[in-house]
Amino acid sequence: LINSDYSNATEDLVNNRQFETDLNFFRYGIFAQASSNAFNNRLTFSLGARADGNSFSNTGNELYRTLSPRASISYKLTEDQNWTANASVGRYYKILPYTTLGFKDNNGNFTNKNADYIQSDHAVLGLEYLINKSARVSVEGFFKKYDDYPISTTDSVSLANKGGGFEVFGSEPVISQGKGRTYGVELLYQQKFTGKFYAVTAFTFYKSEFTNLLGNDYDPAVWDNGVLISLLGGYKFGNNWEVSGRYRYLGKAPYAPVDQEATLDNYPAVILDYNQLGSVRLDPFSQLDIRIDKKWSFTNVSLDVFLEIQNVLAQTGPSEPRYGLDRNENGEIITPRNLVRVDLTQDASVLPSIGLVLNF
């Protein structure tokens, strides 16, 4: 049982909306799960179900609407149990963002109380190989199907295709008619700490896309980077010295470009052209962080002094193009008005820090 409390004040100049909202409601859920083994513990399977409700939505207490069964199975393929096949299927439900639930029209009415939970059906199939007692490698394919995804009734765009910029995400009237899909493959290597070295490496290749109100075409979600890479590892030297690092890579994320003509008519409000979503993407982004630790152990206390350097490669985060009104050298707006691109200077900052940790 969770008590949710949310308040917000919103002013939408383009759609002539202004309201204050204050949400306070309960969220709750019930679940059950059972698991068992067979064939000399080579086969493991699990069955479960869950239902979620809330005291805000019009149908929030009708738990049959969110009944979500799920099942998983794992089988040791070889006698030495080094090879394992895994599979799972399940249905999941997620309540809408509070900014969406808390949206009000100009008469002060909550217009999204009829919105449904987001439904997603997951299917996963994987193969794992145990290299030794401390290291394993696996490959996993996954597919997720979304239904009842919220779509804005203002511009007919799915909320999955929004939220990449600085707009107020989800604060608008919606209808639960969207569909979506995410599918891909993940490669994982894990080396547990064995006294000297540990590492976790993951490569994920995927596609994520959702429909608009017409439901004819799928557009890429704002998180459709295509490629995710995560490398984490560390090595412990003698005399309690340790070096660790983390590397992250994100592929090109899609964004909706600015509709310059509509923005000029509504300035300072920025209007995005969602018809062009997927035609332009941000540059990929990567970041490397390194940390060096030196530890001392005493009778009743231990001391850890570390040096951490974030963004060692001095990478700048990609950002969408921004536009402002053209001005002269005195800062006065030039007439007739015209939009020009405003390139913000971004420092590729390397962030070093020194710290200590005392454990008693």
pLDDT in tens, 328-348: 888 888 888 888 888 776 677
Q: CA 47, CA 39: separation in Å to the nearest integer? A: 18
pLDDT at 5 (0 to 100):
65
Q: Is the pLDDT of residue 9 over 60?
A: yes
pLDDT at 206 (0 to 100):
97
Q: CA 123, CA 145: separation in Å to the nearest integer? A: 9
Q: Is the pLDDT of residue 18 over 60?
A: yes
Q: Is the pLDDT of residue 238 over 80?
A: yes
Question: DSSP secondary-structure letter at 317?
Answer: P
- Give the gyration radius of the chain's Cα atoms: 25
Q: Is the pLDDT of residue 167 over 70?
A: no
pLDDT at 335 (0 to 100):
83
- If residue 198 lies in a helix (H) or strand (E), which one and from where to where? strand 197-211
pLDDT at 166 (0 to 100):
47
Banded pLDDT at 246 (limits 50, 70, 90): very high
Question: DSSP secondary-structure letter at 132?
Answer: E
- If residue 266 lies in a helix (H) or strand (E), which one and from where to where? helix 260-266
As a whole number, the mean pLDDT across the chain is 89
Q: Helix, strand or coil for residue 65?
A: helix
Q: CA 146, CA 181: separation in Å to the nearest integer? A: 6
